[in-house]
A and B are shown apart, each in its own frame.
Chain A
Amino acid sequence: MTRDVKQAPSVRYAPGDDVDFVIVGAGAAGGVMARELSRSGFRVVVLEQGPYLRESDFKHDELLVSEGHQLTNLPSLQPQTFRKSAADKAERRDYLIYGRMVGGGSVHFTANYWRFHEEDFLEKTRYGAVPGAALEDWPIRYADLEPYYSKAEWELGVSGIAGANPFDPPRSRPYPLPPLPIKPSGVLMEIGARKLGWHPAPAPLAVISKSYRGRSACQHCGFCELFGCEWKAKSSTLATMIPEAERTGRCEIRANSYVRRIQTDSRGRVTGVVYFDAQKREVMQRAKAVVVCANGAETPRLLLMSASNQFPQGLANSSGVVGKHLMFNGGAFVGGLFEHEVNGYKSVQVSRYLQDHYRLDPKLGIVGGGGIDMRFDWYPISFAMDALPTDAPRWGAEFKRMVREYFTRTAYALAHTTQLPQEASTITLDPELKDAWGLPAIRTTFTEHPNDMKLYQFFLERTLELQNAAGATRTWAFSLEAPWQVHLLGTCRMGNDPNASVVDKFHRTHDVPNLFIVDGSSFVTSGTGQPTMTIQALAFRAAEAIAGFAKRGEMVRKGSES
């Protein structure tokens, strides 16, 4: 068991100190940004709304992470509303779940770590105009990001095997660590997929299979998804980037700091941020530049809450695009019962995946595609609550008999897919509901594009085929409608046109030269299901660019592009 003693921060800045950067959010992107900018010599304050937990705070306690929301946003203090379209009145519903702690979602994610493919950056070129969808190409290409995908793999610690997935895009370096051991669900997946002529491969995971840079290898305890890793084997920014940032002596991680506003001066430049500290006192931290890494929901919310006379539509929102084009990733989920012990609760959730359907045949008339893995991401409570076949009894003797029979003998095929960007799918400020700090609640407006439902149906059929080919004695499909969402994407999209995007290709906002945004909100399209690696590769790339701007004095005026 890791026993960390909470260290005093290596440096503390005063709110009046005009630090080089304030980073809002210490998650997948913010952790990378903090490490890269502090190692480049800058003075950095990272403000994180959640607590600073250590590995010793993590427990194999399902109630603590679900009912107790130990690692995620707090519905009791941060209520949300949801509606399907702008014509509806939004109702109280906690639809979005996101990491709320130092390390953010990189602490509790499943650690699937997929690169985007070359075509993910060029979907408008490929598909043309799709009615009802705001499809655009990215302003960068795969080749622009490839060095940073490799950098993320090596700096964070990723296990996999180059070339095993024949659909993988070109790469400049192999994985730093070999894949984790195959699980029974992986064996079943290989058997089924090969019968169907598909190409299963060891799943790339941000979990270290051997000791790496002072961290010990995964011990296969099985508590990855939704949980923090007691072994530091999951390569979260909490286990990797954050301590390295602190060791520079230039980076202060300030937890329990809930940012309510980005402050600007009369010239329209950012001067710092206002946040509530743990005692709900308002503090203004000054900074020469601000990088918002608060996730695809909190980032647009913060920009909208930072409206002023000068920026009446919200900060960096002259385009009106802030909060629009919300995407999540969809998919299909099919259970299978097998003859012998699968014991999916041991080790990482996923050991095999495949991408044979990453782009569907154009003849099908469906935009996008996806990947499939075979997994077990249940724990005892959630399994008994929701994992049985949908027509199984929900209580009583037969229910109990089935829970006991199925727990060790099931595997689940999960497809992860594209979701199309739509202007009408948005994050906005709820006009009535407030959070416990008196700030407007997040209001989600979302309906899938008709294409997305066709795509999910396609993958429902494929995942059923896979289970049957793997030898499942019984299969059952779950609803295609997601009860909640965790991939929060697209709401401050990147682009070359200041009238149609929020940030440029280096993540600088078009409107404010010393304000940057780097997180899932930068995505132009959703990719096919696993966004974290692209978020972190974007962060490595953006950090390099932003450090260059700062060193060259390009924070005041926006270089040659304006």
Chain B
Amino acid sequence: MNPEQTMRESVSDAPPNPARSRRDFITLLGTTASTAWLATIWPPAIADSREAAHAASQGQAPRYRALTQQQAEDFGAAADRIIPRDDAPGARDVGVVFFADHLLASFSPARKPAFEQALVTLNEAARKRVPTVSSFASLSASDQDEVLRSIETTDAFNLLRTITISGYFSHPSHRGNRDQAGWKAIGFQDRMSWTPPFGYYDQPEVMARLMPWRRT
């Protein structure tokens, strides 16, 4: 009964399920003998996860460590136009805003100035299209698309796209790709072991038909 598995319109920015998120980190850390090394890279990530878990257990609203609420809304709106919902979840549904917050707070803080500048560019483009609008997030979806189209060749857009795609498809320990929904959407499964046949063409009966020269 994981609430994140249901796609709800307005609460898709809810923090990841604390039990699940903790389990991810326990799994991650439990399998490594050099926890010390990992901790040198990821201590903020661990703290981040604990903080998110705590907030959720207190029933508090999402709290971000690197993003302001407005930045979260603008980025989330853009991300949902870059990877919109179809019969698979959209970007916000799988937690890309939390991914971005985690990325900028702990994994790649050096990207933060460029990210903030990208949102400035986004909002400037939004006001160019609708001068009275307060933010990109408050535009209609079709206006958002037009705004993104107007900046789609810029570095600003490329960064927003990169972070959205990374959040949608990265390992769930980084707080995006919740419940592996991004992976499920494309048919990828993360496993330690596979056995042939791996797909259609290497099935024995298919190979016998397509590759008559092959001796079995």
Residues of A within 8 A of B (CB): 1, 3-6, 51, 53-54, 56-57, 59-64, 67-68, 70, 76, 181-184, 186-188, 190-191, 194, 219-222, 230-231, 338, 340-347, 380-381, 383-385, 394-397, 399-401, 403-404, 407-408
Q: Is the CB of A53 within 8 A of B199?
A: no
Contact with A along B41-57 (1 / 0, CB 8 A): 10000000000000000
B182 near A: Cβ within 8 Å? yes
Q: Is the CB of B213 within 8 A of A194?
A: yes
Q: Is the CB of B194 within 8 A of A184?
A: no
Q: Is the CB of A384 within 8 A of B169?
A: yes
Return the contact of A59 from the options B28, B33, B34 (Cβ within 8 A). Answer: B28
Q: Is the CB of B195 within 8 A of A191?
A: no
Q: Is the CB of B194 within 8 A of A396?
A: no
Number of interface residues of B (CB under 8 A): 56
In the complex, the chain A residue whose C-beta lies closest to that of B87 is A404
Most chain B CB neighbours (cut-off 10 Å) among A70, A194, A380: A380
In the complex, the chain A residue whose C-beta lies closest to that of B40 is A51
Closest CB of chain A to B176's CB: distance in Å? Answer: 9
In whole angstroms, how far apart are the Cα atoms of A407 and B184 in the complex? 11
Q: Is the CB of B199 within 8 A of A341?
A: yes
In the complex, the chain B residue whose C-beta lies closest to that of A60 is B190
Total A-B pairs in contact (CB under 8 Å)?
Answer: 160
Q: Is the CB of B152 within 8 A of A407?
A: no
Known contacts A397-B84, A408-B199; 14 further A-B pairs (Cβ under 8 A)? A4-B33, A51-B37, A56-B32, A57-B38, A181-B202, A182-B202, A340-B200, A342-B200, A380-B183, A383-B169, A394-B152, A395-B82, A407-B187, A408-B187
Q: Is the CB of A220 within 8 A of B198?
A: yes
Q: Is the CB of B198 within 8 A of A380?
A: no
Q: Is the CB of B200 within 8 A of A401?
A: no
B132 near A: Cβ within 8 Å? no
**16 residue pairs from A and B, CB less than 8 Å apart:** A67-B107, A68-B41, A76-B110, A186-B202, A190-B211, A342-B199, A342-B201, A346-B194, A347-B196, A384-B168, A394-B152, A395-B152, A400-B88, A403-B186, A407-B187, A408-B199
B116 near A: Cβ within 8 Å? no
Return the contact of B210 from the options A191, A343, A395, A400 (Cβ within 8 A). Answer: A191
Contacts of B185 in A (CB 8 A): 400, 404
Q: Is the CB of A396 within 8 A of B81?
A: yes
Q: Is the CB of B33 within 8 A of A54?
A: yes
Of B6-14, B67-75, B119-127, B158-166, which binds chain A? B158-166
Query: A346-B198, A347-B194, A384-B168 are known contacts. Are A396 and B84 too (CB-CB below 8 A)?
Result: yes
B86 near A: Cβ within 8 Å? yes
In whole angstroms, how far apart are the Cα atoms of A16 and B38 in the complex? 32
Q: Is the CB of A401 within 8 A of B187?
A: no
Q: Is the CB of B34 within 8 A of A53?
A: yes
In whole angstroms, how far apart are the Cα atoms of A6 and B182 in the complex? 35
Q: Is the CB of B166 within 8 A of A220?
A: no
Contacts of B107 in A (CB 8 A): 63, 67-68
Return the contact of B34 from the options A56, A63, A338, A344 (Cβ within 8 A). Answer: A56
Q: Is the CB of A184 within 8 A of B198?
A: yes
B143 near A: Cβ within 8 Å? no
B207 near A: Cβ within 8 Å? yes
Contacts of A5 in B (CB 8 A): 33
B2 near A: Cβ within 8 Å? no
Contacts of A400 in B (CB 8 A): 83-84, 86, 88, 185
Contacts of B148 in A (CB 8 A): 395
Closest CB of chain B to A70's CB: distance in Å? Answer: 8
Return the contact of B108 from the options A59, A67, A222 (Cβ within 8 A). Answer: A67
B129 near A: Cβ within 8 Å? no
Contacts of B188 in A (CB 8 A): 345, 380, 407-408
Contacts of A383 in B (CB 8 A): 169, 186
Most chain B CB neighbours (cut-off 10 Å) among A191, A346, A404: A346
Contacts of A51 in B (CB 8 A): 37
Query: A385-B165, A407-B187 are known contacts. Are A56 and B199 too (CB-CB below 8 A)?
Result: no
In the complex, the chain A residue whose C-beta lies closest to that of B41 is A68
Q: Is the CB of A219 within 8 A of B211?
A: no
In whole angstroms, how far apart are the Cα atoms of A400 and B165 in the complex? 10
In whole angstroms, how far apart are the Cα atoms of A374 and B207 in the complex? 17
Contacts of B170 in A (CB 8 A): 61-63, 380-381
B140 near A: Cβ within 8 Å? no
In whole angstroms, how far apart are the Cα atoms of A186 and B206 in the complex? 13
Return the contact of B201 from the options A184, A221, A394, A401 (Cβ within 8 A). Answer: A184
Closest CB of chain A to B8's CB: distance in Å? Answer: 20
Q: Is the CB of B186 within 8 A of A407?
A: yes
Return the contact of B166 from the options A56, A67, A345 (Cβ within 8 A). Answer: A67
Closest 3 CB pairs of A and B: A340-B200, A380-B169, A343-B199
